[in-house]
Amino acid sequence: MGHNRDDPNPEDPMLAIDPALIPEHLRPVIEAMCRTGAELSRVIAKGPLAGKLGAGVGENSDGDQQKALDVMADEMFEAALRGTGVRYYASEEQETVLTLDPEGGYALATDPLDGSSNIDVNVTIGTIFSVFAAAESAEASFLRPASDQIAAGYIAYGPQTLLAVTFGAGTMLFVLDPDSGSFVLSEDRMALPEAAKEFSINASNRRHWTAPVRAYVEECEAGREGAKGKDMNFRWVGSLVAETHRILTRGGTFLYPADARPSYGNGRLRMVYEVAPMAFLVEQAGGKATDGTRPILSLTAEELHERRPFVFGSAEEVDRIAELHG
Ligand code: FBP
């Protein structure tokens, strides 16, 4: 890094983010996430020139296929977070929690590479992370109310590399300047529009949906002739990070509900390192996030890799979905 972490200098061109914008105690953690995100974005930009990034290399603890880039990203974040004050490191790609620094004050959970089916097709993918104050054990650090998060963020690797991050006082947006290698603030308070014109759900699962989910999608499809009285557009990228960024920017709703497929009784997305951090970011931008009815931030994970139905976006729509469930 070439700079002293105890005395960060905002002018230092080696810093990946302006430390003045980050709570002091979390600076080394966020700096490591940014530096590694910038490195990863260079690998991703090379695509096939960097090797077979989308090649299957094994399975994670839950039987999901791991791609080469999933494993590479996990190794990079784990290595970068050593010495930053992170005591416990939990990753989608690792079955158990690692102790990085027994003296550290934080527990960080991450999906190091989200949207891996999009690696080979040059569509936005990302990194998601959630930070808690470390508790007396790894379990106690992560299996607690989602409202205990002290920070959450995503890095989106798309046409631009972006960081959205919250420390509980709004959601900030940074853009990676490829010339300087630093994340530069572009919005100090993202504001998720209250009303939506777009909805997102994997429609190929329609036959497996519950009645309330089907009813909501039918309302959206009915457009101005239906109960909504307005036309709605449909979008599905297949990368939670890309979907969240679009919705934070121009509103909309996202649903990955429970459905009738075997092993989809709680949807697909993981509570600790996908659902909870996105819920924190969305709520800090003025949106809502539920499991269909209950606010995600009021829920507590019981297992590290558990799944949770996830609905988020513009407040009006998320309320309507809860009403249909009621
Ligand atoms: P990964 O972490 O394995 O990439 O899975 C998560 C995810 O890709 C989300 O980013 C996305 O919203 C969802 O799965 C897509 O699921 P589906 O392929 O069922 O539409």
Q: How far apart are CA 79 and CA 224, in angstroms?
A: 52
What does the pLDDT look like over 270-289, one tens digit per residue? 999 999 999 999 999 999 99
Q: How far apart are CA 316 and CA 219, in angstroms?
A: 14
CATH 3.30.540.10 in the chain: give the residue spans. Answer: 19-187
Does residue 74 line the site of ligand 1, with CB under 6 A? no
Residue 39 token pair: 């490195």
Ligand 1 nearest-atom number relative to CA 242: 10
The ranges of the chain with pLDDT < 70 are 1-14
| Residue having the nearest C-alpha atom to atom 2 of ligand 1 | 114
DSSP code string of 225-249: GSTT-S--EE---S-HHHHHHHHHH
Longest dimension (CA), the chain: 62
Residues in the annotated binding site for substrate: 114-117, 202
Does residue 202 line the site of ligand 1, with CB under 6 A? yes
At a CB cut-off of 8 Å and minimum separation 6, what does 277 contact?
Answer: 109, 128, 129, 130, 149, 152, 153, 154
| Residue having the nearest C-alpha atom to atom 8 of ligand 1 | 115
Does residue 54 line the site of ligand 1, with CB under 6 A? no
Q: How far apart are CA 83 and CA 15, in angstroms?
A: 16
Contacts 24+ apart (CB under 8 A), 13-17: 13/180, 13/181, 13/182, 15/182, 16/181, 16/182, 16/183, 17/163, 17/174, 17/182, 17/183
Q: What is the predicted pLDDT for the residue at 60? A: 79
Q: How far apart are CA 246 and CA 150, in angstroms?
A: 24
Does residue 114 line the site of ligand 1, with CB under 6 A? yes
Does residue 151 line the site of ligand 1, with CB under 6 A? no
CATH 3.40.190.80 in the chain: give the residue spans. Answer: 198-325
CATH of domain 198-325: 3.40.190.80
Ligand 1 nearest-atom number relative to CA 111: 2
Q: How far apart are CA 269 and CA 124, in angstroms?
A: 18
Residues in the annotated binding site: 92, 111, 113-117, 202, 274
Does residue 65 line the site of ligand 1, with CB under 6 A? no
Does residue 239 line the site of ligand 1, with CB under 6 A? yes
At a CB cut-off of 8 Å and minimum separation 6, what does 171 contact?
Answer: 164, 165, 189, 190, 248, 281, 282, 284, 285
3-state secondary structure of 254: strand
Q: What is the predicted pLDDT for the residue at 46? A: 96
Ligand 1 nearest-atom number relative to CA 64: 3
Going from the Cα of 192 to the center of ligand 1, the distance in angstroms, rounded, reads: 22
Could you tell me which of 108, 104, 150, 100 has the C-alpha nearest to residue 127? 108
What pTM, to 2 d.p., does this model score?
A: 0.95
The CATH class of 19-187 is alpha beta
Ligand 1 nearest-atom number relative to CA 92: 2
Residues in the annotated binding site for Mg(2+): 92, 111, 113-114, 274
